[in-house]
Amino acid sequence: MFSLEITKDYQELSEKAAELVAKQLKKKANSVLGLATGSTPLGCYEQLVKLYKAGELDFSEVHSVNLDEYRGLAAEDKNSYRHFMDENLFSKINIVKEHTHVPDGMEENREKACKDYDAKILSVGEIDLQILGLGLDGHIGFNEPADSFSKGTNCVRLTDETIESNQRFFQSKEEVPQEAYTMGIGSIFSAKKILLLVSGKAKAEILEKALRGPVTPRVPASILQFHRDLTVLADEEAASALS
């Protein structure tokens, strides 16, 4: 069972998402937030910055773990997810930089990068609220369709569909890294609460599959149907294929 809330548009979705994060932080000031990148959570982050600037939110005790990072991109690279988070959220609120964690894209040794990030995730404690976007092929984090659900952090080869879809942030398709480090489905699933944000017509079909279809690693987000505390916020366009 999950709760599904359909909003009229992206703006309302972003406001509602920020309200849920704010509620979490008011309940527990030292919450661990699981954070996502991509265009979908951007509006929510903007709202959080607004609430912070209005004196309504305090991030000083918050710890965060991000879902993923491109392998081979440095923190300073404008396409890295570390840079995305710094630019769009961390630099605009009073979170302590040392409390924010993103996999190290510059660690070439895949095994070490994954082990280190799992250790980081363990060190911050249970994730209180995990924000997720949804990939066009049903991926969460960068966990692409596979034969089994991943447990811990893993290094994935991005699918062509994902590379093409993420190309919009880069100059050319060739520039998009082919691999990424991502938190595993097991770690994502361990979060106490999950908030899945989905916007736009292009996501309607995959959202329907994820929420109503069989639970299968071929649609990684479908595992969320089993989660105890999942809230799905979808705008009308994204929800248009749900009966």
Q: Which residues are catalytic?
A: 68, 137, 139, 144
Tell the burial category of 61 from Cβ atoms under 10 Å away from its Cβ (0-12, 13-18, 19+). middle
Q: Which is nearer to ligand GLP, 133 or 184 (CB)?
A: 133
Residues 167-226 that bind ligand GLP (CB under 6 A): none
Contact pick of 14, 24, 40, 64 for ligand GLP (by CB under 6 A): 40
CB 33 within 8 A of CB 64: yes
Q: Which is nearer to ligand GLP, 30 or 39 (CB)?
A: 39
**Shortest CA distance to 65 belongs to which of 109, 9, 133, 126?**
126
Contact pick of 43, 103, 138, 141 for ligand GLP (by CB under 6 A): 141
Residue nearest to ligand GLP (CB): 133
Q: Which is nearer to ligand GLP, 54 or 168 (CB)?
A: 168
For 195-227, give one letter per residue: b (16+ CB within 10 A) or e.
bbbbbeeebbebbbbbbeeeeebebbbbbbeeb
Total number of residues that touch ligand GLP (CB under 6 A) = 14
Q: Which stretch binds ligand GLP (CB under 6 A): 21-29, 37-45, 103-111, 170-178?
A: 37-45
Q: Does 43 bind ligand GLP (CB under 6 A)?
A: no
For 40-60, give one letter per residue: b (16+ CB within 10 A) or e.
bbbbbbbbbbebbeeeebebe
Positions that interact with ligand GLP (CB under 6 A): 36-40, 67-68, 133-135, 141-142, 162, 166
